[in-house]
C-alpha cells in the first residue's frame, strides 16, 4: 500500500512559494517563513494569488507532487500536474468502458449505493449515541427512507432514473442533518444544502471540506494512472474532474460530513470563526481555516480496517485504495467495483 505523505497547506494569501535545493521555501513579503523538504510532501494546496516559482513548479511535477490553487475562501482555481502517469492502455480502457452505458451504470450504482448506505449509517449511529438529544421519529423515518432507496437504486434502469433516486435520498438525508448537530445549534443551524456561495456556517464548512476531498480523490486517480476528468455519472466539461466527483460520492458522508459534525459538536469551531458578507455569503476566517486543516491532517492519520481489502490503512489512504480498486476493475482483475461501505 502506498505510504501516506504530507499535504502542505499554505493558508496565507500573501505567501509565495519558491525552491531552494530540495526544499520548498514559503516567503511572505520576501521574508522566509518556513522551509519544508520536498521528499516529505505528496501535494501542495495554496490558498492565495501570489503563486509558485517556475523552478518549484518544475521540481514538483518531476516528483509527481501535485499543486492545487484555491482562493483564500477555498474556491478551486487550478491544478498543476506533471506527465501523464500510468500506461496509455489503462486510460484507453477507461474511456471505452465509461462510454458503454451498461458498465457506466454499474459503476454509478455501486458508488451511489455506498453513498446512501454510508449516509444511513451516520443517521443510525446518531440514533444509538444521541437518542435523547434529537427527534427520534424524524431521524428514524429518514433512515427508513434511505433503506428503501437502496432497493430502488439497485434496480435503476438508466442513469436518469438513478440520479433521480439519488437526489431524493440526498434531500431526505440533508433534511435531518440539523438533527445531527447536538451542540451550538443556534450558531450552526442547518436548513438545506446550499453553495456558490454557502449561506450559513455549516454549508461553508461542508463546501470547504468537499473541495479538500475532491483534490485528494483526483490526485489518487492520477497516481494509479486514471484520467480524473472523464467520469461515468458527472457530465464531462473542461476543467471538471468528473471521475473524482463520481468517486467522492461514497466518501462524502464518512470523510466529510462526519468530520464537519465532529468539529461542531466538539466545539472545535465556533460562531466567531465565520463572517457574513453583504451578498449573504458566509466565509471561514483565516484562523479557523488553519485549525480546520490541522484537524483534517490529523484525521487522515487515523487507522481503520478497509472493509473490502481487510487491511489496516490510514483514513487519508481511502481515496487511493478506492482508485486502485477502480483501476483493477478496468483491467479485468475484479468483476465489479467494490465501493467503501462504512461498518
**What are the pLDDT digits (tens) for 302-326?**
888 988 888 888 888 888 889 888 9
- Grid cell at residue 50: 501570489
- Mean pLDDT over 152-156 rounds to 92
pLDDT score recorded for residue 1:
41
**What are the pLDDT digits (tens) for 257-266?**
999 999 999 9
Q: What is the mean pLDDT of the chain?
A: 86
List phi, psi (to 5°) of 14.
-95, 5
pLDDT score recorded for residue 142:
94
**What are the pLDDT digits (tens) for 217-227?**
888 888 777 88
The b-or-e profile of 257-277 (16+ CB within 10 A means b, else e) is: bbbbbebbbeeebeeebbeee
- Grid cell at residue 88: 496509455
pTM tops 0.85, yes or no: no
| Structure-model confidence comparison of residues 342 and 99, the more confident one | 342
pLDDT score recorded for residue 85:
54
- Sequence-distant (6+) residues with CB within 8 A of 267 are 183, 184
- Mean pLDDT over 38-63 rounds to 84
pLDDT score recorded for residue 40:
80
**What are the pLDDT digits (tens) for 100-142?**
888 888 899 999 999 999 999 999 999 998 878 888 999 999 9
Burial of residue 80, with CB atoms counted within 10 A of its CB: 0-12 exposed, 13-18 middle, 19 or more buried: middle
- Grid cell at residue 173: 438525508
pLDDT score recorded for residue 235:
67
- Mean pLDDT over 266-273 rounds to 91
pLDDT score recorded for residue 5:
54
| Structure-model confidence comparison of residues 150 and 70, the more confident one | 150
Is 3 a residue whose pLDDT tops 50? no
- The residues that bridge with 67 in the sheet, in sequence order, are 44, 80
Cα dihedral across residues 124, 125, 128, 130: positive or negative: negative
- Mean pLDDT over 181-194 rounds to 87
**What are the pLDDT digits (tens) for 192-234?**
888 788 888 999 999 999 988 998 888 888 877 788 888 887 7
Split at pLDDT 50, 70, 90, the class of 148 is: very high
Report all structural domains of the chain as residue ranges with CATH numbers, in order of start: 6-80 (3.100.10.20), 88-331 (1.20.120.920)
Amino acid at each position: 500500500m502506498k505510504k501516506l505523505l504530507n499535504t502542505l497547506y499554505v493558508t496565507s494569501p500573501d505567501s509565495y512559494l519558491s525552491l531552494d535545493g530540495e526544499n520548498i521555501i514559503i516567503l511572505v513579503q520576501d521574508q522566509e517563513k518556513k522551509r519544508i523538504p520536498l521528499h516529505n510532501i505528496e501535494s501542495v494546496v495554496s490558498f492565495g494569488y501570489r503563486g509558485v516559482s517556475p523552478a518549484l513548479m518544475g521540481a514538483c511535477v518531476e516528483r509527481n507532487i501535485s499543486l492545487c490553487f484555491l482562493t483564500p475562501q477555498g474556491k478551486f482555481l487550478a491544478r498543476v500536474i506533471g506527465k501523464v502517469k500510468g500506461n496509455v492502455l489503462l486510460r484507453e480502457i477507461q474511456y471505452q468502458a465509461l462510454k458503454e452505458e451498461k458498465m457506466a451504470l454499474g459503476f454509478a450504482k455501486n458508488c451511489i449505493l455506498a453513498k446512501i448506505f454510508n449516509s444511513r449509517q451516520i443517521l443510525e449511529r446518531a440514533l444509538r449515541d444521541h437518542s435523547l438529544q434529537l427527534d427520534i421519529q424524524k431521524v428514524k423515518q429518514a433512515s427508513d427512507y434511505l433503506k428503501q432507496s437502496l432497493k430502488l437504486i439497485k434496480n435503476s434502469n438508466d442513469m436518469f432514473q438513478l440520479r433521480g433516486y439519488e437526489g431524493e435520498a440526498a434531500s431526505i438525508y440533508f433534511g435531518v442533518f440539523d438533527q445531527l448537530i447536538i451542540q451550538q445549534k443556534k450558531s450552526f443551524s442547518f436548513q438545506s444544502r446550499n453553495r456558490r456561495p454557502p449561506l450559513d456556517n455549516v454549508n461553508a464548512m461542508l463546501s470547504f471540506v468537499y473541495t479538500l476531498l475532491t483534490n485528494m480523490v483526483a490526485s489518487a486517480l492520477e497516481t494509479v494512472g486514471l484520467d480524473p476528468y472523464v467520469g461515468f455519472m458527472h457530465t464531462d466539461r473542461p476543467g471538471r474532474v468528473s471521475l473524482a466527483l463520481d468517486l467522492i460520492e461514497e466518501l462524502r458522508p464518512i470523510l466529510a460530513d462526519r468530520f464537519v459534525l465532529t468539529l461542531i459538536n466538539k466545539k472545535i469551531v465556533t460562531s466567531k470563526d465565520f463572517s457574513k458578507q453583504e451578498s449573504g455569503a458566509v466565509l471561514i476566517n483565516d484562523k479557523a481555516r488553519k485549525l480546520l486543516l490541522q484537524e483534517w491532517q490529523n484525521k487522515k492519520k487515523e487507522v481503520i480496517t478497509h472493509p473490502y481489502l481487510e487491511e489496516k490503512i490510514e483514513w487519508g489512504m481511502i481515496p487511493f485504495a478506492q482508485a486502485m480498486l477502480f483501476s483493477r476493475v478496468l483491467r479485468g482483475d475484479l468483476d465489479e467495483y467494490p465501493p467503501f461501505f462504512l461498518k
